[in-house]
Structure 1
Amino acid sequence: MTEPPGLIAFNALSDARAVDLLVQCCSSTAWARRVAAARPFPSADALHTAAENALADLTEPEVDAALAGHPRIGDRADNPSSAREQSAVASADDEIRARLRAGNEEYEQKFGHVYLVCASGRSAQELLDVLHARLGNDAATERRILRTELAAINRLRLDRLLGENGD
């Protein structure tokens, strides 16, 4: 099996350029450095595994740095990846958007960080339902869930990165 062209290009990047691109996938520089240092990858699956392992090794402050790169669900996205992933929320009606804003505030007051969910392919109502369900979690459970959600977001963004490098 041969490497996809985007992976070949990614493996050939300088460490600094690889880290720069990875930080666009996940704003934790510690994560980006760990993933870049694990190159070359023989497959996209190997890249995904390295990314998941790097995420699992992050300290809580490093996870907080990763969260800082994600806007609230329903807020104006400050980067193209978040805008693409939250596109269903942009077209939601005013009532759902208002309920998402209120839910985000409640979540942040309870947990001390942004509500993180892999929004890609999900409706605004589904994201609101997930938010309300997660408000019932304790802090430790919620930290585990947000790492799972962050891993899913990172995976989508890494796949897009490989596709962009292959163009």
Structure 2
Amino acid sequence: MVAEMSIDAFDALPVDAAASTVGVWAAVPAWVDAVVAGRPYGTRDALIARADALARTWTRTELDTALAHHPRIGEKPRGAGADAEASRREQASMSSAAAATATAIADGNAAYEERFGRVFLIRAAGRTPEQMRDELERRLGNDDETEAAEALDQLREIALLRLEATIA
């Protein structure tokens, strides 16, 4: 992931470097542009509040765009970029998953994609493989609208955790 930096350093980044940093938090182009355009923030809390408020306006189309950058739970992220590194770190608990749990998640991922037409998204950081499996199974029972709202909320949580890990 992008190395930790101060809010002052973030505020002073050239636009393209700031956009690259914010794009790792969530690959939602309009959100990236708005977060970058809002500088200077002056405080970490101001940045978090603005990023959170903007993320709460995301649409299903933006969710689908962002999901192109998220691996399935239990699959190794491809590549060596900051996105892949963030996903590897966030999904670290999957390395200790029991075989039955890993199989249930893989099967659940397939069922989810068939049902909703997109990758299952969950904030993996801080969750055990069993908790992720249970959430996947629960969310398979959601209707389309409820599930889109949950997935958008998970994307927002992931973005804010990544922001908090980047900005000191």
1:127 aligns with 2:132: yes
1:35 aligns with 2:35: yes
Matches within 5 A, 1:1-167: 6-78=6-78, 79-163=84-168
Decide whether the 8 Å contact of 1:116 with 1:149 is kept in 2. yes
Cα shift readout 1:21-69 (whole Å, capped 9, x = no counterpart): 1111111222211111111113222212211222233332222111111
SS in 1 for 2:120: coil
Q: Taking every aligned residue pair, what percent have the same amino acid on both sides? A: 36
Read off the aligned partner of 2:148 and give its amino acid letter.
R
Task: Give me the TM-score of the superposition, normalised by structure 2.
Answer: 0.89
Separation in structure 1 between the aligned mates of residue 29 and residue 166 of structure 2, nearest angstrom: 17
Any stretches of 5+ residues in structure 1 without a counterpart? none
Decide whether the 8 Å contact of 2:7 with 2:41 is kept in 1. yes
Separation in structure 1 between the aligned mates of residue 105 and residue 94 of structure 2, nearest angstrom: 9
Separation in structure 1 between the aligned mates of residue 43 and residue 153 of structure 2, nearest angstrom: 22
Moved more, 52-61 or 113-122: 52-61
Any stretches of 5+ residues in structure 2 without a counterpart? 79-83
Read off the aligned partner of 1:54 and give its amino acid letter.
L
Decide whether the 8 Å contact of 1:27 with 1:66 is kept in 2. yes
Read off the aligned partner of 2:73 and give its amino acid letter.
I
Read off the aligned partner of 1:159 and give its amino acid letter.
E
Separation in structure 2 between the aligned mates of residue 162 and residue 109 of structure 1, nearest angstrom: 37
Separation in structure 1 between the aligned mates of residue 75 and residue 95 of structure 2, nearest angstrom: 9
Decide whether the 8 Å contact of 1:23 with 1:32 is kept in 2. yes
Decide whether the 8 Å contact of 1:30 with 1:58 is kept in 2. no
Separation in structure 1 between the aligned mates of residue 48 and residue 146 of structure 2, nearest angstrom: 23
